[in-house]
Amino acid sequence: MPNLRNVLLLLTVTWQNLVAASETPSCGVAMARSFLTLDNTLFGPRIEAASVSDQSSDIEQKVFFGDPNSTFNGMRFLPSLGESVRALAADPTKGQVLQIDKCAPDGKSTSQVFCKDAEMVEPNDLAVAYLAGRVYLSGQNYDADTEVGDGDLWMCQAPASFLDTAGSAIKEPVKAIRLGVFGRTNGIEVSPDEKTLYLSEAFNSNGSVVSNKIWKFEIDPATGLVSNKALFVDFQVLDGTGDVDVDGMRVDVDGNLFVTRNGAGQVLKFSSEGEVLLRINLEGIVEATNLEFGGPVGKSLIVLGKCDDGSPWSEGKGCANIWEGNPSPGHAFHVLKYITAY
């Protein structure tokens, strides 16, 4: 088995075999159920990436791509043709984003640098504006005392829309543009209409997490630049959990934002106006790191994180939950399954 810190594991699932949570949440609270546990997981404790590609006839965990010289964080699949697969992965070790192509029928994987910059602060997670062909990146240095500059926001522009699989293919890395510096940035997502960017920001003091907020920005459709920074949610004000980090974030097709709380064993569902619509409690996961929609119609929310086994942060295994109560599919699932690439 390769070093799982340096590989992307591809999880394919038979959704009919999963134990689903109730589709009727009570009092704004729902419960997810385990399907990757300590007994059957191949993931290590630092499980980070979550994205959606396809499904198969069996529950399977297999290596999608490996690089012994890299450590992968956020990952997003892109539109592709036929049985070929294209994905982007954040590589904090080298301060870059990799484009990975797995070509049919031989299944060989190749990679090339999509964008990089020596000034990037350890790229953490990715968000994709599919129609515009843009990638937004968060990043963070985790220190005892966070300062502005320990996190940042970057944008990389493909040559064409990601729906244009040939036109958006790169021959050399595209330019990375820094859009701002912050405290620790982590969760990041683009609204379905590609008009709004969501970005989390956290601060530490004396070795403890003291603040977690999500900001929203307006995206210029012509340039991809962001402006009009506005507070979306301050978790200390919301429910006193400013000391619990935000991690991965995803939107559904209705624009609702799903946010993992790394340390609370929970996912929050927000409306696009910042109203808490639902709290999804997790089973066997405390340090939830990322999430994505999948399943036959894209309404199954998969949540990843470190198994709650009492082991230290850097030890143990990674687990996964599923919650099937969302009325609408995920945005990424909808783009990849129903919007035609060319």
Note if the bond before 105 is cis, omega within 30 degrees: yes
DSSP secondary structure string for all residues of 183-204: SEEEEEEE-TTS-EEEEEEEEE
Confirm if 300 and 333 have CB atoms less than 8 A apart: no
Q: Which amino acid is at 328?
A: S
pLDDT for residue 2: 32
pLDDT for residue 169: 86
pLDDT for residue 310: 82
pLDDT for residue 19: 33
Q: How many angstroms separate the CA atoms of 44 and 42, rounded?
A: 7
pLDDT for residue 109: 80
Confirm if 200 and 188 have CB atoms less than 8 A apart: yes
Q: How many angstroms separate the CA atoms of 268 and 195, rounded?
A: 22
pLDDT for residue 11: 40
Task: Classify residue 155 as exposed, middle or buried by CB count within 10 Å of its CB (0-12, 13-18, 19+).
Answer: buried
CB-hemisphere CA count at 13 Å for 30? Answer: 23
Domains of the chain: 4-338 (2.120.10.30)
User: φ, ψ for residue 336 (rounded to 5)?
Assistant: -70, -30
Distances, alpha carbon 110 to alpha carbons 60, 64, 118, 134, in Å: 22, 11, 23, 21
Query: Residue 47: left (phi > 0), alpha (psi -120 to 50), or beta?
Result: beta
pLDDT for residue 211: 99
pTM score of the predicted model:
0.87
- The dihedral through the CA atoms of 177, 182, 188, 190 has a sign that is negative
Distances, alpha carbon 128 to alpha carbons 21, 114, 189, 326, in Å: 29, 13, 7, 22
The length of the chain is: 342
Kind of pairing between the strands at 29-31 and 276-281: parallel
pLDDT along the chain (342 residues), means of 10: 38 34 58 70 50 44 58 85 85 90 74 94 95 98 97 98 92 96 98 99 98 99 99 98 97 98 95 98 92 92 88 80 95 91 84
Identify the DSSP state of 160. S
* Placement of tokens 């300590």 in the chain: 38
Distances, alpha carbon 18 to alpha carbons 26, 67, 113, 138, 320, in Å: 21, 31, 37, 33, 12
CA-angle at 185, arms to 211 and 216, nearest 5°: 85
* Placement of tokens 């506005």 in the chain: 230
Confirm if 71 and 5 have CB atoms less than 8 A apart: yes
Give the contacts of 5 (CB within 8 A, at least 6 positions apart).
44, 46, 71
Give the distance, in angstroms, between the CA of residue 201 and the centroid of all CA atoms in the same chain.
15
